[in-house]
Amino acid sequence: MNVSSTTRLIATIVFNFFLTGVTAAFALNDRNSERPTAIQLLTDVHKKLESLKTLQYHYSLELNYVSEGYHQSISGIAFLDFSSPDSVIGFTYQIESEQNKFVYNGTESFTLDKVQKSLTVNAKPTFENFSGVTPFHNSLVTLRKVIPAILADRDIIKTVSDTSIAQQDFYLVKLVLNKRVIDRLGGFSDLSLERKINYDIIVDKSSLIPVQMIQGNSANSDFTRSVFSDVKTSPDIPAELSWYFSSYTSDFAIKRRKPLEPPALQTPAPEWELPLFDSSQSLRLSQLKGKVVILAFWTKNCGYCIAAVPRLNALSEKFQGKGLVVLGVNLHDNKEEIHNFNQRTKPAYKTVYDGQRIGEAYGVSFYPTIVVLDKKGKVLAHGELNESALNDIILKALKE
């Protein structure tokens, strides 16, 4: 089956609209005849996605943080194979853009940098390595994994209506989550900020495959938009040799490195000394003993790092004067780039930089990575920014 004609039309049209109220660009109809309920439709969509053994589509992802003056777009082709689930993420994939190619064959993952002509191999990837893959943000993989949790959660508001795009009819599913966001590979992350997160999912009526997913919020005009076009549910399988990094070594210089592994919980965090941004001084980790510390590892070309700043500001403000230190750790950007980032995002905490080596020591494989240390400098948490979980960890650590 190939639904490319419909989804190509959506990809052409949707990017002509600037999001004002997310669905303002669509002509909403109020026909109720034979329209399924939101529960029924989501159930059918999940059954459809679960039935697919292979899937290929062109993705376009917009990151629009209007409040920060930030916009970024990425696009490429994703091939997913669910026929032989592995123990880490349940599928294998090849994702290719003009600049990169990402491959996971069930055992190892590797990245081809087409610009630098380099090849980086991770011989033993963990789930965290995949949760940071940007093309999985609000993707068909996300929906395949998260819909059962959405159906089971009565606190999530779910509605469905009809919508028309260029005289073609689609379903529009609207979800409203309170202080939570959907993670890239399923599940949810809690927010400390008081805001509702809105999702608009446009579903093809004939194929029941989502063709677009928009995420907005109740606080500002920031949004992300994923568009899935040229969807093929029985695509040609990539050649067998394309799944192995050894097939590319004649054209790409291999960079072998051992997998990045975070420090074990309850063990001392690796010591470091890094320069303080906007200061002639440096900072050593040992100087923070006696404080509970949040290290936020980030880079400038990361929309999720931008979105994390107000959330980290809120935590810093909540525990101000109570023994918590929030510290941004920039990996490799120069001073001007850090300055521009800080001017736009206004972090209420200090930043250290030149942290590439330290990031490797802390097992940082995606951005932002959050590491929490107790008063003695031991690792309490390592992973994505989950404010609710961080709040509990911080409260407990401050009492010890």
pLDDT digits (tens, 9 = 90+) for 278-292: 999 999 999 999 999
pLDDT top residue among 290 and 304: 290
Q: Answer yes or no: do 215 and 280 share one domain.
A: no
Last residue of a domain, one of 174, 201, 232: 232
Is the pLDDT score of 228 beyond 90? Answer: yes
Q: Answer yes or no: do 217 and 364 share one domain.
A: no
Is the pLDDT score of 251 beyond 90? Answer: yes
Asked, for residue 261, whether it belongs to a domain, the answer is no
Distance from the first to the final alpha carbon of the chain = 59
Asked, for residue 267, whether it belongs to a domain, the answer is no
Q: What share of the chain in percent tops pLDDT 90?
A: 69
Asked, for residue 253, whether it belongs to a domain, the answer is no
Q: Answer yes or no: do 45 and 142 share one domain.
A: yes
Q: Answer yes or no: do 66 and 157 share one domain.
A: yes
Q: Answer yes or no: do 10 and 99 share one domain.
A: yes
Is the pLDDT score of 253 beyond 80? Answer: yes
Asked, for residue 204, whether it belongs to a domain, the answer is yes
Q: How many CB atoms lie within 10 A of CB 319?
A: 18
Mean pLDDT of the region 336-350: 92
Mean pLDDT of the region 31-41: 82
pLDDT of residue 33: 54
pLDDT of residue 259: 65
String of DSSP letters for 303-336: HHHHHHHHHHHHHHHHTTTTTEEEEEEESS--HH
Asked, for residue 357, whether it belongs to a domain, the answer is yes
Lowest mean pLDDT among 176-185, 186-195, 222-231: 186-195
Is the pLDDT score of 371 beyond 70? Answer: yes
Name, of 15-19, 101-105, 305-309, the range with top average pLDDT: 101-105
Is the pLDDT score of 147 beyond 80? Answer: yes
Asked, for residue 363, whether it belongs to a domain, the answer is yes
Q: Which CATH number does the domain housing residue 211 bear?
A: 2.50.20.10
Calpha distance 362→382 (Å, rounded): 9
Is the pLDDT score of 165 beyond 80? Answer: yes
Asked, for residue 78, whether it belongs to a domain, the answer is yes
Q: Answer yes or no: do 289 and 214 share one domain.
A: no
Mean pLDDT of the chain: 88
Q: Answer yes or no: do 303 and 221 share one domain.
A: no
pLDDT of residue 25: 38
pLDDT digits (tens, 9 = 90+) for 184-202: 999 998 887 788 999 999 9
Q: What share of the chain in percent tops pLDDT 70?
A: 90
Last residue of a domain, one of 173, 205, 232: 232
pLDDT of residue 10: 46
Mean pLDDT of the region 5-26: 42
Mean pLDDT of the region 163-183: 93
Q: Answer yes or no: do 15 and 121 share one domain.
A: yes
Mean pLDDT of the region 11-21: 41
pLDDT of residue 339: 94
Q: Answer yes or no: do 224 and 88 share one domain.
A: yes
Q: Answer yes or no: do 182 and 316 share one domain.
A: no
Name, of 107-121, 149-163, 248-262, the range with top average pLDDT: 149-163
Report the chain's C-alpha Rg in angstroms.
22
Read off the pLDDT band of 247 (50, 70, 90).
very high
When divided into structural domains, the chain yields a total of: 2
Q: Which CATH number does the domain housing residue 353 bear?
A: 3.40.30.10
Last residue of a domain, one of 169, 199, 232: 232
User: Which structural domain, as residue segments, surrounds residue 287?
Assistant: 273-399
Give the chain's largest Cα–Cα span. 69
Asked, for residue 259, whether it belongs to a domain, the answer is no
pTM: 0.74
Q: Answer yes or no: do 116 and 15 share one domain.
A: yes
Residue pair 329/341 in contact (Cβ under 8 Å)? The answer is: no
| Angle (nearest 5°) at CA 231 between 87 and 37 | 85
pLDDT of residue 397: 95
Q: Answer yes or no: do 147 and 290 share one domain.
A: no
pLDDT of residue 126: 85
pLDDT digits (tens, 9 = 90+) for 325-335: 999 999 989 99
Is the pLDDT score of 113 beyond 70? Answer: yes
